[in-house]
Amino acid sequence: MTIFLTDADVRAAFGWPEAVAALRAAYSAPPDESRFPPRAMARAEGRWLRTLSGVPGDGAPMGAKLIAAAPRNRRASYLIPLFDQETVELLALLDGNAVTGFRTAATSALAVDALTPAGPLTVAVIGSGFEAQHHVRALAATRELSSVTVFSPDPAGRARFVDRLADLELPLRTAGSAAAAVDGAGLVLCAARSRDERPTLAAAPPGATVVSIGSTLPEQRELDTAVVERADLIVADEVHEVAYGTGDLIAAKEAGVDLAGRLVSLADVISGRAPGRSGPDATVVYKSVGSAVQDLAVAAMCLRRAAELSLGTELPVTVHPVVK
């Protein structure tokens, strides 16, 4: 039996605490690079197809996320097939649109919990779109937030951010600049890129944890080189891609910043194979480009919850495994 989960099904089945728990289990599995190969991309003029695949080490369903995009038309489609690891039965097909946004924020919440001191968090948010909003919801579901201050260049965007998160009943404030938003924050969330690719965060307060999710390509910038240089620890969800495929770290290396001994994987921190924050005064950066680990963990969690809630549609056909 193969189940199809629509975008509405995925949203109804999703839960922030459950997603963070699933990601913690996925990142705690023994390391094996062959389980999650580098992403692949097929390109043609005006369109591309990206594939992120994996076989989770915790026994959860294996699968992939397929992203078909036509940037010129500003359109993209996301599909996630999940297979049982033992029987290789096609368990489910999921509309992956919502999963993509949820998994990024849930993984950041996992990283924040591991990299910030215990206690309430004073949060600064650079950006006001759906990723920024998702991140505040993920953090609010997993940690106590004493305040949230948002900056984005558009005052209307800042107002929408506050309005759409009003149900959280948090102290939500707006700031007129990134520097004003960041002043005194213990956690800085960067979830927006400037249009001309100048960094949106020029400096971070001493002892802060910085989450950077808005610059994932060589031509994109989010963190000033000074932020990278000052960081005592840089944690990456995908070390090689962060180091060699993001504009922030490429620019830092070109400026002579030495990353040796400071760049570690999120999996190593979560599993205890690498230390996290060294002390309350350390400045820590978590940089994310996204990975199949995250997509598959969240998708499998949604499938489990959908079964409990009787969500989804049983497909009228079955894809039978071939015996060889």
- Is 3 a residue whose pLDDT tops 70? yes
This prediction's pTM: 0.94
Model pLDDT for residues 44-69, shown as the tens digit of each residue: 988 999 999 999 988 999 999 999 99
Task: Report yes or no: 237 and 270 within 8 Å, Cβ to Cβ.
Answer: no
- Is residue 232's pLDDT more than 90? yes
Return the closest-CA partner of residue 160 out of 190, 125, 120.
125
Q: What is the pLDDT of residues 210-227, one digit of tens each?
A: 999 988 878 888 999 999
* In the predicted structure, residue 179 carries a pLDDT above the cut 90: yes
Res 194 pLDDT > 90: no
Burial of 180 (0-12, 13-18, 19+ CB in 10 A): middle
- Phi, psi dihedrals of residue 125, rounded to the nearest 5°: -120, 125
pLDDT confidence tier of residue 304, bands split at 50, 70 and 90: very high
